[in-house]
């Protein structure tokens, strides 16, 4: 005889076949109903059809396994016995609900079907038995609607149309004003709608209803909504959905009934208070639907004191049992309390931190568990200004959430105008609104409270720069039309002028017209406590990408253990510097270039002194100039004239140089290490500035650990030339100073070839830092600034599971990294018998999933923008606590 697995699990009456830890098999809802039942919490009896059935259903080409049927029959019988009613009985019918429930919550995947078991005959009996014909008829018409629209594909609007029509005929506004007779008529009309759409009458056999509803739940697993939800939330590896069939309880039988939803602690701030709403004489959906305003749960104490006390006991019991904050649903029928659901409650980052820390203090969980409980990404909530939740401004457009936090400011359309505006009105907030930004815009960008662009993706210039500064930014908001000449921005049919207020929420991508109040972040004591526990657990160090002393100091406050990337190019903008820089680019010979560079050197040195001071005692990786030179020259006629005037040279000369420097593919052009190879004096100036700044800071009694980083190498020869030149110069300076300054020279690994020959590269490099922005760009052959036109389709069509500029493409780019780390370490060991320090400084260094990958391949550190430092610290801790196991992050 063939054996088959158990397909149906019963619960109710203080017993259950399943347990909370069987989520994979019973789904979250089913597993928790079983658990509640077995710990003596009142739950209406029912049963769960396993996710394996869903899996087998699809394997067999949408056919249920044979043995499900007798198991369901037997389980239904048990429910009938416990409730003392029969399914389909005409005088006193058992009614059931049918709900989906996968291992991970997938809100809105499928609507619930309530009141199953009602038929023309049963509705009469149900009305008599409850002495409430109106309730019976209302339940029946809801069933026809829910069953029709959810299980049989009838448009819900068709039912709504009948309801609205009848209310008009009866001259009433609210559903509740319809009498029993009216509802009888409505049932008739609903049945007609059903028959017309489905081609057969509404089923009068309750078993027929039940099986159709069960199949509908399984079918919904592969419905567009569910498939899309799983894609967006990156949910993979689930068997399917379970189906929960449960005896109905009614919260709308009168004033001694009601229904509510609650959290065992406040999900917004984590406070240990009972938080929720209820409605007297109502059904579950009424609380969420917003038709009536629910009462705060504390008032239930006055209205139903006994039920309230019972609920408070259950709250305690559930938290003690699950050792976690719960989100619960309950119904009171004629004074008797039933729990319909419990699950881990969703919460803000602030709340997550407080709850995790307090649960440790209460002795319910240990520190390591607390560290694993908080989603690193949710820490954003503690670190950035947020929109005041009381604000009434509604979003009018949405772009890509590029850098979190909220900001309101006056619309300014160019970076130059932002600089001018800030000079005149230093206290007024600026929102820089542009099609896109470029390195020329950084001065204006820095002055803005937030940045909004109509094009670009998550790795666009605006996004990367804003993230680096922790400045709110929304990119790719196609709904805004910018007319620079007219000084207007059109959005959602409204035309705003320069100087009008606009607000962005970089956490969600929302754009709002007008000024919205923001609230400042508060780094609470609990947050520091949790971070302390995370630091004890992690192996990866966390550094920051910072280009200014202020950012460096901020990052240090957030726990950065050094700078992993200081991009020096931002230091060449700003009024006086850009003039010297342009002089350098326009110089005819080495001498001219050297003279211009000499003017830049003091600025560079000063910047480095500031950064070294801020990072006293911690390593600072400074990268030599990376971007192509043409980015420092204006491309429009007016700009070129201004530069010619500034430098006292003919306009034609500027034009010629711009043309000469023009590149078809600047990202693959004359940038990175190629610049100092052709113009060694550029590299020399930077090395001199770095080392002499280090000498000065050391002299002043501080500890400096400079790391000179050479960008964009593809061959070991490039690195060797530049390294030897840098060392020679640095050693001369140090020797002359009489100070003992230690420094390292290393390289970025951001060209696939460099990763492939990592063993040789490591012979010349004291450290590696993976520049995964460029590495991703060059491995895929995607221009990082131009992915917007196709990335959406790629993700939708599942060509890629995630945007590889956001989260490391483990399968492809990951191989290069893994190989690079392994071969690099081997090469260094073989030649110098030394450990090669390896880190990452691409945007991925602040992405929790990528941090886990970096931990796995054995990097020494990750580096990310200041505001992501705590996120990376927590992600690194979770990676090392999970070691081998899975990281169960709440989605």
CA atoms 710, 715, 718, 723: torsion sign: positive
Look at residues 97, 69, 234 and name the one whose alpha carbon lies nearest to residue 848. Answer: 234
Stretch that binds ligand PEP, among 447-455, 755-763, 768-776, 792-800 (CB under 6 A): 768-776
By a kind-dependent CB cut-off of 5 to 8 A, residue 684 interacts, out of Mg ion, ligand PEP, none, with none
**Helix H or strand E encompassing 179:** none
Stretch that binds ligand PEP, among 168-176, 400-408, 437-445, 771-779 (CB under 6 A): 771-779
**Closest to Mg ion by CB, 609 or 673:** 673
**Closest to Mg ion by CB, 771 or 845:** 771
**Helix H or strand E encompassing 372:** helix 367-373
| Stretch 70-89: interaction string toward Mg ion, x if CB under 5 A | --------------------
Exactly one of 266, 551, 696, 774 binds ligand PEP (CB under 6 A); that residue is 774
Residues touching ligand PEP: how many (CB under 6 A)? Answer: 10
**Closest to ligand PEP by CB, 385 or 771:** 771
**Closest to ligand PEP by CB, 439 or 487:** 439
**Closest to Mg ion by CB, 583 or 623:** 623
CA dist 578 and 600 (Å) reads 9
Contact 836, 765 (CB under 8 A): yes
Using rule CB under 6 A, residue 565 touches ligand PEP: yes
| Stretch 723-762: interaction string toward Mg ion, x if CB under 5 A | ---------------------------x------------
Pairing of strands 93-94, 86-87: parallel
Exactly one of 272, 737, 773, 807 binds ligand PEP (CB under 6 A); that residue is 773
CA dist 471 and 402 (Å) reads 10
- Residue 399: how many other CB atoms lie within 10 Å: 24
Exactly one of 85, 434, 567, 698 binds ligand PEP (CB under 6 A); that residue is 567
Closest approach, Cβ 773 to ligand PEP, in A, equals 3
Give residue 794's Cα distance to chain centre. 19
Using rule CB under 6 A, residue 771 touches ligand PEP: yes
DSSP 124-157: HHHHHHHT-HHHHHHHHHHHHHHIIIIIS---HH
By a kind-dependent CB cut-off of 5 to 8 A, residue 842 interacts, out of ligand PEP, Mg ion, none, with ligand PEP
**Closest to ligand PEP by CB, 393 or 438:** 438
By a kind-dependent CB cut-off of 5 to 8 A, residue 565 interacts, out of Mg ion, ligand PEP, none, with ligand PEP
Annotate 350-384 with b (16+ C-beta within 10 A) or e (fewer). Answer: bbbbbbbbbbbeeebbebbbbbbbbbbbbbbbbbb
Interaction with Mg ion in 774-833: which residues (CB under 5 A)? 774
Closest approach, Cβ 682 to ligand PEP, in A, equals 17
Interaction with ligand PEP in 612-631: which residues (CB under 6 A)? 626
Annotated active-site residue in 54, 473, 566, 841: 841
**Closest to Mg ion by CB, 45 or 468:** 468
| Stretch 830-849: interaction string toward ligand PEP, x if CB under 6 A | -----------xx-------
Q: How far is CA 645 from CA 39, 639, 642, 651, in A?
A: 83, 10, 5, 8
Closest approach, Cβ 61 to Mg ion, in A, equals 50
> For this structure, is 841 an active site residue?
yes
DSSP 490-515: EETTEEEETT-EEEEETTTTEEEES-
> For this structure, is 461 an active site residue?
yes
Using rule CB under 5 A, residue 843 touches Mg ion: no
What burial class does residue 312 get, using C-beta atoms within 10 Å of its C-beta: 0-12 exposed, 13-18 middle, 19+ buried?
middle
Closest approach, Cβ 870 to ligand PEP, in A, equals 20
Give residue 404's Cα distance to chain centre. 10
Cα end-to-end distance, the chain, whole Å? 42
Contacts of 677 (CB under 8 A, 6+ apart): 718, 721, 722
Q: DSSP character for 263?
A: E
Annotated active-site residue in 381, 446, 461, 630: 461
Residue 869 three-state SS: helix
Closest approach, Cβ 194 to ligand PEP, in A, equals 59
Exactly one of 746, 771, 820, 845 binds Mg ion (CB under 5 A); that residue is 771
CA dist 224 and 213 (Å) reads 18
Footprint on this chain of Mg ion (rule: CB under 5 A) = 750, 771, 774
Footprint on this chain of ligand PEP (rule: CB under 6 A) = 565, 567, 626, 750, 771-774, 841-842
* Catalytic residue numbers, as ranges: 461, 841
């Amino acid at each position: 005889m063939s054996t088959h697995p158990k397909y149906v699990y019963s619960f109710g009456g203080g017993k259950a076949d399943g347990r909370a830890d069987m989520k994979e098999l019973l789904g979250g809802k089913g597993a928790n109903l079983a658990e509640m039942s077995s710990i003596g919490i009142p739950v209406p009896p029912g049963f769960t059809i396993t996710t394996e059935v869903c899996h087998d259903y699809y394997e067999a080409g949408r056919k249920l396994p044979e043995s499900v049927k007798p198991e369901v029959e037997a389980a239904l019988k048990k429910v009938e016995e416990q409730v003392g009613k029969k399914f389909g009985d005409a005088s006193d019918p058992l009614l059931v609900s049918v709900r989906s429930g996968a291992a991970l919550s997938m809100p809105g995947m499928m609507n619930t079907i309530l009141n199953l078991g009602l038929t023309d005959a049963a509705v009469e009996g149900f009305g008599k038995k409850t002495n409430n014909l109106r309730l019976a008829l209302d339940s029946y018409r809801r069933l026809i609607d829910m069953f029709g629209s959810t299980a049989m594909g009838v448009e819900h609007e068709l039912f709504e149309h009948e309801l609205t029509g009848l209310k008009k005929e009866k001259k009433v506004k609210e559903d509740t004003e319809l009498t029993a007779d009216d509802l009888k008529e409505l049932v008739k009309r609903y049945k007609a709608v059903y028959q017309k759409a489905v081609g057969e009458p509404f089923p009068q056999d309750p078993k027929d209803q039940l099986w159709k509803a069960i199949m509908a739940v399984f079918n919904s697993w592969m419905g567009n909504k569910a498939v899309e939800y799983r894609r967006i939330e990156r949910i993979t590896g689930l068997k399917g959905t379970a189906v929960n069939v449960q005896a109905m309880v009614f919260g709308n039988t009168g004033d001694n009934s009601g229904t509510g939803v609650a959290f065992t602690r406040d999900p917004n701030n984590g406070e240990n208070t009972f938080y929720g709403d209820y409605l007297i004489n109502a059904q579950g959906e009424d609380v969420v639907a917003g038709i009536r305003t629910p009462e705060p749960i504390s008032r239930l104490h006055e209205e139903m004191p006994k039920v309230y006390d019972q609920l408070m006991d259950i709250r305690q019991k559930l938290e003690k049992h699950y050792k976690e904050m719960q989100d619960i649903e309950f119904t009171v029928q004629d004074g008797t309390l039933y729990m319909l659901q419990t699950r881990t409650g969703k919460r803000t980052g602030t709340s997550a931190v407080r709850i995790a820390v307090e649960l440790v203090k209460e002795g319910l969980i240990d520190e390591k568990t607390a560290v694993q409980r908080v989603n690193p990404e949710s820490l954003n909530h503690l670190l950035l200004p947020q929109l005041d939740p009381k604000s009434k401004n509604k979003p009018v457009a949405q772009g890509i959430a590029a850098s979190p936090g909220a900001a309101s400011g006056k619309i300014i359309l160019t970076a130059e105008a932002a600089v001018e505006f800030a000079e005149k009105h230093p206290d007024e907030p600026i929102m820089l609104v542009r099609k896109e930004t470029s390195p020329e815009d950084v001065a204006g960008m820095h002055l803005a409270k937030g940045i909004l662009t109509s094009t670009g993706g998550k790795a666009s210039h605006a996004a990367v720069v804003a993230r680096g500064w922790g400045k709110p930014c929304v990119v790719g908001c196609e709904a805004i039309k910018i007319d620079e000449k007219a000084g207007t921005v059109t959005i959602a049919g409204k035309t705003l002028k320069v100087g009008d207020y606009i607000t962005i929420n970089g956490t969600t991508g929302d754009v709002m017209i007008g000024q919205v109040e923001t609230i400042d972040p508060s780094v609470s004591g609990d947050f520091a406590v949790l971070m302390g526990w995370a630091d004890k657990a992690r192996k990866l160090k966390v550094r920051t990408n910072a280009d200014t002393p202020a950012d460096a100091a901020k990052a240090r406050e957030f726990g950065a253990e050094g700078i992993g990337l200081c991009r020096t190019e931002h230091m060449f903008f700003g009024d006086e510097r850009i003039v010297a820089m342009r002089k350098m680019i326009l110089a005819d010979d080495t001498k001219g270039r050297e003279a211009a560079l000499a003017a830049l050197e003091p600025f560079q040195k000063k910047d480095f002194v500031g950064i070294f001071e801020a990072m006293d005692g911690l390593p600072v990786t400074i990268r030599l100039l990376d971007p192509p030179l043409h980015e420092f020259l204006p491309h429009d006629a007016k700009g070129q004239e201004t530069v010619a005037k500034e430098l006292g040279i003919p306009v034609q000369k500027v034009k010629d140089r711009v043309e000469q420097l023009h590149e078809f593919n600047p990202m693959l052009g004359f940038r990175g290490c190629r610049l100092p190879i052709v113009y060694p004096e550029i590299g020399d100036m930077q090395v001199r500035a770095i080392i002499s700044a280090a000498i000065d800071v050391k002299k002043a009694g501080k500890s400096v650990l400079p790391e000179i980083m050479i960008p964009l190498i593809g061959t070991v020869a490039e690195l060797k030339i530049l390294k030897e030149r840098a060392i020679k110069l640095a050693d001369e300076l140090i020797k002359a100073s009489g100070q003992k300054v230690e420094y390292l020279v290393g390289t970025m690994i951001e060209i696939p070839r460099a990763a492939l020959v990592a063993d040789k590269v490591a012979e010349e490099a004291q450290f590696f830092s993976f520049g995964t922005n460029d590495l991703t760009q060059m491995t895929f052959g995607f221009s990082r600034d131009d992915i917007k036109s196709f990335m959406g389709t790629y993700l939708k069509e599942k060509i890629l599971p995630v945007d590889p500029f956001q989260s490391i493409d483990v399968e492809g780019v990951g191989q290069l990294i893994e190989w690079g780390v392994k071969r690099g370490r081997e090469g260094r060991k073989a030649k110098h018998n030394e450990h090669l320090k390896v880190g990452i400084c691409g945007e991925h260094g602040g992405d929790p999933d990528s941090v886990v990958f970096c931990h796995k391949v054995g990097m020494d550190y990750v580096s990310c923008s200041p505001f992501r430092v705590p996120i990376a610290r927590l992600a690194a801790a979770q990676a090392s606590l999970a070691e081998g196991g899975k990281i169960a992050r709440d989605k």
